[in-house]
Each structure stands twice: as C-alpha cells, then as structure tokens.
Amino acid sequence: MSTGTVRLHRILKAPPERVYRAFLEPDALARWLPPDGFTCIVHHLDARVGGTHRLSFRNFGSGHAHSFGGEYLELVPNERLRYTDRFDDANLPGEMTVTVQLRAVTCGTELSVTQEGIPEVIPVEMCILGWQESLAQLARLVEPEIPG
C-alpha cells in the first residue's frame, strides 16, 4: 500500500517560541489546526517525548467526525517537533509522522512541515489544501502583537 507525503514551508511574523507553543497548547491547537469548515476537540495532549495526544475533527456542515491520535517522538523547544498520528477509522490505515522545523529569521520564524505516511485513500492535494488552510489560521493566531 502506497502512502503520500506533503511538505510545506512558510515564514511567519512571530517568534519561534510563540509558534512552538501553538503546536503544544490544547486551546491554541484546537483553534488553528482544523482546516476550514471543521471544528476540533483536543481530548488529550501530554506534550512530552513519549507523551500522547488525541483529537477529533468534525465537519461542521455534515456533522461527520473523525478522530486520531499519536505519540510525541521529539520535542526541541522552539526548534523542532516530531509526532505520529493514526486515524481511529480502519479505512484510513497506517501511521503518519509529522515533522515541524522552526528557525528564527529576521522577520520571525521559518516554518517547515513534512507529513509522511498519509493513507493511500486521502488525495495528497487535499492534504496540502488542508495544511494550507490550517497554516493560514496559525498565522492569524501567532502573528498579532497584542499588548498586555
């Protein structure tokens, strides 16, 4: 069974510390990670190497939901995250690995995301589209400089 891989790259006008936190704080993750038209529930998030996470995305229009979870493999504060995801649905088999690289640049953070092992039944272009929507929401969360 073949699987897909997506790679994305962005520059965010926010410091690496803020971007890193957005991947590990449940409230922040629920706000930016679901693509347009979806809501998210973070059921569990234990942000440490060997810790696990469990989330559900729900299609707001149809009400259909899917849940997934995985394990944190690597956490280098403000620089790198690597974790796994596995869907609960047997029709979406296999384990995906997501690697997030953060690098401080003059205007904020260079962000690189690689997601490997995407189940064959999910079109890679749909995955790319979903990540693009999610990363736009991430930018809206981390970029504003709000005093106090």
Q: What is the pLDDT of residues 19-74, one digit of tens each?
A: 999 999 999 999 999 999 999 999 999 999 999 999 999 999 999 999 999 999 99
Contact 124, 22 (CB under 8 A): no
Q: Distance between CA 44 and CA 57 in Å, rounded?
A: 14
3-state secondary structure of 87: strand
Tell the CATH superfamily of the 4-142 domain: START domain (3.30.530.20)
Tokens standing for residue 123 = 């079109």
Q: Distance between CA 8 and CA 81 in Å, rounded?
A: 15
Q: What is the pLDDT of residues 88-115, one digit of tens each?
A: 998 888 999 999 999 999 999 999 999 9
Q: Distance between CA 138 and CA 129 in Å, rounded?
A: 14
Segment 123-138 shows an average pLDDT of 96
Amino acid 127 reads C
Enter the pTM of the model.
Answer: 0.94
Per-residue model confidence (pLDDT) at position 1: 53
